[in-house]
Amino acid sequence: MFDQLFTCPRTIERHLAAPFLEQRLSYLHYCTQRGASQATLRLTAAQLLVINDYLPLDAAGEISLAQIEAAAERWIQRPNPCHYRKDSAATRTKFITAAKHWLSFLKRLHQEPSVPCPEAPRLAEFAHYMEHERGWSPQTIRTRCLFLTTFFSRVCDAQRSLSDLTIADIDQVIACKLSVEGCARATVQAYASVLRAFFRYAEARGWCPPGLAAAITSPRVFQGETLPTGPSWPDVRRLLAGTEGDHRTDIRDRAILLVLAVYGLRSSEVRRLRLDDLDWDNERLLIRRSKPRAHTQVYPLVRTIGDAILRYVQEVRPPCPWRELWVATKAPVQPLSNSAIWQLVSRRLKALNLPLRHCGPHALRHACASHLLSAGLSMKEIGDHLGHRSPAATAHYAKVDLGGLRQVADFSLGALR
């Protein structure tokens, strides 16, 4: 394999003579199967030689993260008169990442034992209640369980259980959200709402003293304080204009941005799109809604969006066993996560220097709703398009239709004299 990656005979000889030849070849074949390019394989092969020199791989046993970090420090501090080190922090990070992947492949990376949640059985029961009795979406359940896990890790331990908690303990955690972590009041209000729902359930099961749920207070958020904000439709056009190119990332990002802006989908709904959801014959798109109560919704496949997706599938999407529509363009080839979609939208929105409080995918959902409202669609039509369950969820967008409000205010009083 090395004769395919390198042309210099001395380089090939050095790679063949280094230790762990069989393991390194297996790892490079593994990287090839995950979609690594020739350039990436050459870099990986060189990294393996460096890692082998700086880590005690000859000794038996696992290697800890502390040992990897110490080796990375020695690597960036090495005497190196031939090259100028521009960014030692980046070099250190690349060394640690490559070493962790290599050791994981060898099954020699020491995994630090995770600290279990102090109230894991009760949290699991509450999650079952949220899923089967409340009918909440998986994303909502995951978010609430994450909030509760961090809460329990702060207030519960081997000597202090759920039955020992007082309202002072809960108030202290909520206050830290504001004063120490600097969370917005709307975020703290949502956090307190999750705690209130759990303790209401816990009181009914007799897990904690009565009255805790009713005593939980949160910062007041005034009506209309957190109105949805998003870019204007001309700004959305500017955003899409920035993806008009032949670069692989631009082609993929353009298709994703079009789906977000035109259909007003949530990030998780875009992430879950599969190749099977595209009905090319009938020009339809199947959307698996996150909420309410996960269901499916059929949209007409707009020609512009269909052309963008088709170009992505034919020219950019790498061959892989995944059925998800959106996958990474670089190795390892795998479906995009919610975080990856958020990052690509945020990066492109921030490049426009718009006065937005939030630059994630949800901003494009707000832009879609405001655009439909300014086009004259009814609240019912907009709510159906966005997949809202309650008309109140759509009514928020009427408050930010400044153009409509100006038209209402711009009338003559002459007829009333």
Mean of pLDDT values over 141-162 = 85
Q: Is residue 299's pLDDT more than 80?
A: yes
Residue 254 is among the residues annotated as catalytic for this protein:
no
Please name the residues in contact with 399: beta carbons below 8 A apart, sequence gap of 6 or more: 224, 227
Average pLDDT taken over every residue of the chain? 83
- Residues 24, 252, 365, 385: which is the catalytic one? 365
Residue 371 annotated to the active site:
no
* CATH fold label, 120-215: DNA polymerase; domain 1 (1.10.150)
293 has catalytic annotation: no
pLDDT of residue 314 exceeding 90, the answer is: yes
**Which is catalytic among the residues 15, 24, 252, 266?**
266
**Residue 406 pLDDT level (bands cut at 50, 70, 90):** very low
As a whole number of angstroms, the distance between CA 256 and CA 114 comes to 36
**Options 271, 291, 348, 385, the catalytic residue:** 291
Q: In terms of pTM, does the model score above 0.95?
A: no
271 is an active site residue: no
Is 348 a catalytic site residue? no
Residues 191-211, mean pLDDT to the nearest whole number: 91
* pLDDT per position as a tens digit, 227-236: 557 788 899 9
pLDDT of residue 266: 87
Task: Give the CATH fold of the 233-367 domain.
Answer: hpI Integrase; Chain A (1.10.443)
- Helices (DSSP H) in 156-284: which residue ranges? 167-179, 185-205, 212-215, 233-241, 248-263, 267-271
Domain ranges of the chain: 2-106, 120-215, 233-367
Instruction: Tell me which of 362, 366, 371, 385 is the catalytic residue.
Output: 362
Question: Quick one: pLDDT at residue 201?
Answer: 93
Q: How far is CA 105 from CA 70, 73, 109, 286, 331, in A?
A: 20, 23, 9, 38, 16
